[in-house]
A and B are shown apart, each in its own frame.
Chain A
Amino acid sequence: GAGVSQTPSNKVTEKGKYVELRCDPISGHTALYWYRQSLGQGPEFLIYFQGTGAADDSGLPNDRFFAVRPEGSVSTLKIQRTERGDSAVYLCASSLGLGLFDEQFFGPGTRLTVL
């Protein structure tokens, strides 16, 4: 698998539940990004990892959102007490990390629906 993969591709949950979204970046990419895209809009930046550490989490909308990347590869975006407004496509991207926000390779996204 040469590209960025994300699982699940679709997630339907009920309001108030906890969800985890997974991202497998391209092997060797040190930078990993999470975005959220609502219908008809461009992606909105959430958080950026360089290695294991969150270099910039300024886009996380509130403390219900959290992301980890414990071994510097796979990342998990965690959303607690989901709300209907969290419904969106969550995109993950990775890059070589040579420059901030350099050429990013995107996964297909996880479509989250909160009922």
Chain B
Amino acid sequence: SQQGEEDPQALSIQEGENATMNCSYKTSINNLQWYRQNSGRGLVHLILIRSNEREKHSGRLRVTLDTSKKSSSLLITASRAADTASYFCATVNTGNQFYFGTGTSLTVIP
């Protein structure tokens, strides 16, 4: 079973707009990670946020974590056509189990 669920399942935006994806999970975690997967390719690690952190930035990416709500969000600012991909959250729970979520498919229209 998969611990995380992303919302929305699919998102379509215009280039230059911001994209926000949410991830909810079920059990206590040690850290949460976001990955990107382009069609037919392997996953690329984007960012890792630990359970004692609330926000992290990397370039145009901003990740927040709310452990009380068991949720995280990924914000991509000033989106580009090249950001078109599926985005997955993944959690390492306190039992050292690793689960990917179901993914959000993002389409950025040039």
Q: Are B99 and A103 in contact (CB-based, < 8 A)?
A: no
Bits for B35-56, please: 1 = Cβ < 8 Å to A, else 0.
1000001111100100000000
User: Which of B14-22, B77-85, B100-108 is the interface stretch?
Assistant: B100-108
A104-B45 contact in complex given A42-B102, A44-B100, A45-B99, C-beta closer than 8 Å: yes
How many angstroms from the CA of A56 to the CA of B88 in the assembled complex?
A: 22
Bits for A29-60, please: 1 = Cβ < 8 Å to B, else 0.
00000010000111111000000000010100
CB closest residue in chain A, given B91: A101
A106-B92 contact in complex given A44-B100, A45-B99, C-beta closer than 8 Å: no
Contact of B43 among A41, A43, A45, A58 (CB under 8 A): A43
Q: A43 to nearest B CB, angstroms?
A: 5
A42-B44 contact in complex given A100-B92, A101-B92, C-beta closer than 8 Å: no
Q: Are A41 and B96 in contact (CB-based, < 8 A)?
A: no
The reply to whether the CB of A107 lies closer than 8 angstroms to some CB of chain B is yes
Q: B92 to nearest A CB, angstroms?
A: 5
**A44-92 residues at the B interface, CB under 8 angstroms:** 44-45, 56, 58, 91
Q: A9 to nearest B CB, angstroms?
A: 10
Residue ranges of A at the interface with B (Cβ–Cβ < 8 Å): 4, 35, 40-45, 56, 58, 91, 93, 100-109
Given contact pairs A45-B100, A58-B97, a sample of 14 additional A-B residue pairs in the complex whose CB atoms are under 8 Å apart: A4-B42, A42-B90, A44-B100, A45-B98, A56-B96, A91-B42, A91-B43, A93-B43, A101-B31, A102-B48, A103-B45, A103-B48, A104-B45, A109-B42
Residue ranges of B at the interface with A (Cβ–Cβ < 8 Å): 2, 4, 31, 33, 35, 41-45, 48, 88, 90, 92, 96-103
